[in-house]
Structure 1
Amino acid sequence: MLFAPVSTELSFAHGGNTLAGDLVRPPWPGPHPAVVFVEGSGPGGRDLGSWPTRLAAAGFASLAYDKPGSGASTGDWTRQTLADRARETMAAVRAVRHRDDIRPDAVALVGGSQGGWVAPLAAALDDTIAAVVTVSGPGVGVLAQEEHRLRHQLPAEGFTDADAEQAVALLRDQIRRIRAGDNPVRVHAAQARWRTAGWYPLLAGTTPESIAFLAGIADHDPTQALAALRCPLLAVFGADDVLVPVAESVRAITGILRDAGHGDHQIVVFPHADHGIRVPAGDGPATLSHGRYTAGVRAPGFDEMLVTWLQRRLDMA
């Protein structure tokens, strides 16, 4: 048989928006277990490279969709909270479950980066989610993660510790002023003199819209959602990730799940891997850009581990 995954555009409604994505499934008859991808920060879209094909070869259908205001989806992602994103994720799950070629009892979530906060929130809304995988999903709150990112990513990309501290000061000022009721346009204008700095684009808030979005999610703490989680969890990290406090996240997630009596979780850290669980390729120098290796390949064993873990939790082994 010539392996050719079947791709179908799937649209669903949530919050007055129409979200569009691609449902990719194996070429053989279903019903199939399914994965709904939960995107990270920024505009984001349905292009997840080889992952949908990799999952289809393993027997899974998967849905990746454009975030509001991106690609073919309507709306504006900068107006969302993480709770909004969780409810949107569950709308995507319902759209997938309603198909005859999908097993409604076997739908898992895979959340990357910021999606690692959103996926457990979504699973807390629906205890029939079969499993959750987080990839570089922080175990700490938003503000702690952003401060860590600036203090580690900027020096890793050639900026000084003083630059990093100035960036942290701007971050804190943005959030403080928005919380106090200031207009995001004024907050953005007040930081105009820093916009020519080489590190400025690495701030999460560089426009009035992104400043408002960041301030709106800054108080999020993943503790409650993780403590409420009842389905199996796989949390994956890269040891060389400069965007997320890996050791602190591992300790936090381990402690929260232990205290909650969660019985089926696995936390895996891949050595020498970045935020995208990629390792340097070849023998040349490893160069980081935006927290990722510019010439990297997925960490050996990552694909196989994720697929095998999902197969076992979704009764496919």
Structure 2
Amino acid sequence: MPSDPEPYEVSFPGGAGVLTGSLAVPERDGPGVPGVVMVGGSGPSDRHNDAYFPPIRRHLVDAGFAVLSYDKRGVGGSSGDWREASMDDLAADAAAALGFLRTRPGVRADAVGLFGHSEGGWLVLRAAAARDDLPWVVTNSCPGTTPALQERHALATVLRDAAASEQVVDETLALYDRVCEAARRGAGFAEAARLVESAGMPPALDGHWAGMDERMWRFLGRKQDHDPLPDTLRLRCPHLALFGGADPLVPVAESVQLFTTTACAPGRHPAATLTARVFPGADHRVRTDSGTRLASGYLTFLTRWLTGPS
């Protein structure tokens, strides 16, 4: 068997102009290889998703998959600005990457699916909803809740880990709720900043508020009530939902329950099976040993499922 190639630079049309990324297509005899589009998480994620994607990509390429990952709008060589986009816009970019990979020589157009990490999971579910031409969709550490509820859970985790008093927990979460409500009713960034400043900027809120500006405030306002469940209800292909059992950012048990509930909904498409896998002790990137390696069995399980989801 020939050695598999390294990824090479590609570009293709996206909703805001041009998207750039990396593509690796293994050389195999036969009609072509299946493919995976990898979609990164929140913030200015690039094609490598902060070094998280390369080991997964290498494993998938070695297993015979063509793999495409790309820079989010305004990151790397990609046009536009992700902070000016909506979730629908970003999902459309994932769909554009899917369409591009399907046209590549040596790739089976009917065997290309979507893999989304964290926020990318919401995006691939939106891109996959109601399509009849996808073999599967994978969400990796993707909450089954809205972003607002997911961030609230993450904030509560920070407070719990810091051994904050019950009063501090209640006051900080109440402030978070007021900020979310301000965004929900269209308040400007200046009003939101006054809310936070008048509360003395609780230290636990630093991670959520750091780097906040007018553009980020508007983006989070558009994003915060995005609900993935209607998209899962409209799936017409198998769905694999992967989680780390010790993920501090995602309400894992609730997310598994929510995805399972939608999988049991009357009228769900018969091809829309659900496989949920939780890796005990693993973090948001499904890693163990203080984040130094992917959870034992993660890569093997992923490729086995991709070659025959049911």
Q: Normalising by the residue count of structure 2, what TM-score does the alignment of the two structures yield?
A: 0.88
Partner of 1:135: 140
CA distance in 2, matches of 1:71, 1:237: 28
Correspondences of 1:1-317 after superposition (within 5 Å): 3-28=3-28, 31-47=32-48, 48-124=53-129, 126-156=131-161, 158=162, 160-161=164-165, 164-188=169-193, 191-192=196-197, 198-203=203-208, 206-208=211-213, 209-260=215-266, 261-263=268-270, 264-280=273-289, 293=290, 295-313=291-309
Q: CA 1:194–1:38 in 2, change beyond 3 Å: closer, same or farther?
A: farther
The worse-fitting range, judged by mean Cα deviation, of 24-33 and 252-261 is 24-33
8 Å Cα contact 1:145-1:243 kept in structure 2: yes
Q: Tell me the amino acid that sits aligned with residue 76 of structure 2.
A: G
CA distance in 2, matches of 1:172, 1:83: 24
CA distance in 1, matches of 2:224, 2:9: 34
Q: CA deviation at 1:213?
A: 1.4
Q: CA 1:102–1:164 in 2, change beyond 3 Å: closer, same or farther?
A: farther
Q: CA 1:165–1:118 in 2, change beyond 3 Å: closer, same or farther?
A: farther
Q: CA deviation at 1:233?
A: 0.8
CA distance in 2, matches of 1:71, 1:141: 28
CA distance in 1, matches of 2:222, 2:187: 13
Q: Tell me the amino acid that sits aligned with residue 287 of structure 2.
A: R
Q: CA 1:92–1:169 in 2, change beyond 3 Å: closer, same or farther?
A: same
CA distance in 2, matches of 1:5, 1:164: 51
Q: CA 1:238–1:221 in 2, change beyond 3 Å: closer, same or farther?
A: same
CA distance in 2, matches of 1:195, 1:5: 54
CA offset digits 1:119-150 (Å, max 9, x no partner): 11100153212111111111122222111111
Which 5+ residue runs of structure 1 have no aligned equivalent? 281-292
CA offset digits 1:149-207 (Å, max 9, x no partner): 11013433x36255554543443333322333332245336534778754343116741
Q: CA 1:169–1:211 in 2, change beyond 3 Å: closer, same or farther?
A: farther
8 Å Cα contact 1:174-1:211 kept in structure 2: no
Aligned to 1:34, the other structure's residue is in SS state strand
8 Å Cα contact 1:205-1:211 kept in structure 2: no
Aligned to 1:259, the other structure's residue is in SS state coil
8 Å Cα contact 2:130-2:234 kept in structure 1: no
The worse-fitting range, judged by mean Cα deviation, of 247-256 and 147-156 is 147-156
Aligned to 1:62, the other structure's residue is in SS state strand
Q: CA deviation at 1:313?
A: 3.8
Aligned to 1:49, the other structure's residue is in SS state helix
CA distance in 2, matches of 1:296, 1:195: 36
CA offset digits 1:273-304 (Å, max 9, x no partner): 11111122xxxxxxxxxxxx3x4321111100
Q: CA 1:169–1:43 in 2, change beyond 3 Å: closer, same or farther?
A: farther
8 Å Cα contact 2:125-2:231 kept in structure 1: yes
Q: CA deviation at 1:52?
A: 1.5
8 Å Cα contact 1:24-1:61 kept in structure 2: yes
Q: How many residues are aligned here? A: 300
Which 5+ residue runs of structure 2 have no aligned equivalent? none
Q: Tell me the amino acid that sits aligned with residue 281 of structure 2.
A: H
